[in-house]
Chains A and B, each alone.
Chain A
C-alpha cells in the first residue's frame, strides 16, 4: 500500500488499515513512549491516543518523510507535551529512577538482567528528549537522517548529542558497577 492510499484509508478511519498499522508499529511506539515517559500506563495512553487520533492527525502527513518517521515524530511530540503538562513529572522521574536502582542492587547475581537494568537506569538519567534520541538510534536502529526529520535538528548536532548521551550512560554504568 503506498502512502497516498494509506492516508486516504486512514482519513476514513478504516479499521483494517488501522489494525495493520497497530501490528506493525504499536510495539515500537509503546517502547519509545515508555522510554520518554518512564511510566507504563502513560505510555499505553499515548499509544492509544495516537491511534485514535490517527484519522485526524494523518492530515498533517505530507509524505516528505516515511510514515514510520512521521509517526515517531508524533509520538515524541505527544510524550513531550504530556511531560510539559504534567506537574508531577520530575517527582515521577525521580521515583522511577529510584525503583530501577533498587532493582539493580537487589539482583546483582543475574548478569544479563543486571546489565539491562543498569542500562535502563543510565538511560533514565538522561533528559527525556535525549533519551528518546538515543533509544531510536541504538534500540530501533534509525538513521541520523530520520532522527534529523523527527527532532528537526541538523545531523551534526544530533551526532554530538548522541555521543555525549552515550558517554553519560557509560559513566553511570561504570559508577554503578563499582558500587555493586
Chain B
C-alpha cells in the first residue's frame, strides 16, 4: 500500500528466555489438576450420596413412627366410641330421665 507507514523500522521485542518454560510448567500443572479434579468430584459425590442415605434413613424412621402414633390414636378412639355406645342407657342420667317420665305420667 503506497500510503502505509514503515512500522517495520520499529524494533520488535522478543519473548523472554524463560517464557516458554513457564508456559510448559503451567500447562503441566493444569494437566495434573485435571486428573485430580475427577477424584475430588468422586469423593464429593460419595459424601453427598452417604449424606442423602442418612437423611433418607432419618426421614423414613420419623415417618414410620408417625404412622404408629396415628394408628394408636385411632385405636384409642375406637375403644372410646365402643365404650360410649356400650354405656348408653346406664348410669345416673338414665335414672333422672326415667323419674321425669314417671312424674309426667
Task: List residues of chain A with CB under 8 Å of any chain B CB.
Answer: 13, 15, 18-19, 22, 26-27, 30-31, 34, 40, 43-44, 47-48, 51-52, 55, 112, 115-116, 119-120, 123, 134-135, 137-139, 163, 166, 169-170
- CA distance in complex: A169, B1 (Å): 16
Contacts of B7 in A (CB 8 A): 119, 123, 134-135, 138-139
Contact call B4/A22, Cβ cutoff below 8 A = no
Digitize B1-34: 1 where CB-to-A-CB distance is under 8 Å, 0 elsewhere: 1011111111111111001101110110011000
Q: Which residues of A contact B1 (CB under 8 A)?
A: 137-138
| B26 CB contacts on chain A under 8 angstroms | 48, 52
Closest chain-A Cβ to B14's Cβ sits at a distance in Å of 6
B residues with CB within 8 A of A: 1, 3-16, 19-20, 22-24, 26-27, 30-31
Judge whether B23 and A30 touch: CB under 8 Å. no
Q: Indicate which residue in B6, B14, B22 contacts A27 across the interface (CB closer than 8 Å).
A: B14
Chain A hits for B4, CB < 8 A: 137-138, 166
Q: How many Å lie between the Cα of A30 and that of B11 in the bound state?
A: 13
- Pairwise interchain contact A30-B14, C-beta atoms closer than 8 A: yes
Whether A51 pairs with B23 at a CB distance below 8 angstroms is yes
Contact of B6 among A19, A52, A55, A138 (CB under 8 A): A138
Q: In the complex, are the beta carbons of B5 and A169 less than 8 A apart?
A: yes
Cα-based distance from A169 to B10 in the complex (angstroms): 14
Q: Given the complex, which residues of A lie within 8 Å of B23, measured CB to CB?
A: 18, 22, 48, 51-52
Residue on A with the closest CB to B8?
Answer: A139
Report how far A123 CA is from B23 CA in the complex, Å: 30
Q: Are A13 and B27 in contact (CB under 8 A)?
A: yes
User: In the bound complex, do residue B6 and residue A13 qualify as a contact, i.e. CB atoms below 8 Å apart?
Assistant: no
The answer to whether A47 touches B31, judged by C-beta atoms less than 8 angstroms apart, is no
C-alpha spacing A171/B29, complex, angstroms:
49
Residues of A within 8 A of B27 (CB): 13, 15, 18, 51-52, 55
25 pairs of residues in contact across A and B, judged by CB atoms under 8 Å: A15-B27, A22-B23, A26-B19, A26-B20, A27-B15, A30-B13, A30-B14, A31-B12, A40-B13, A44-B15, A48-B26, A52-B23, A52-B27, A119-B5, A123-B7, A123-B10, A134-B7, A138-B4, A138-B5, A138-B6, A138-B7, A163-B3, A166-B3, A166-B5, A170-B5
Docked Cα-Cα span, A52 to B10, in Å, equals 28
A116 touches B19 (CB 8 A): no
A135 CB contacts on chain B under 8 angstroms: 7
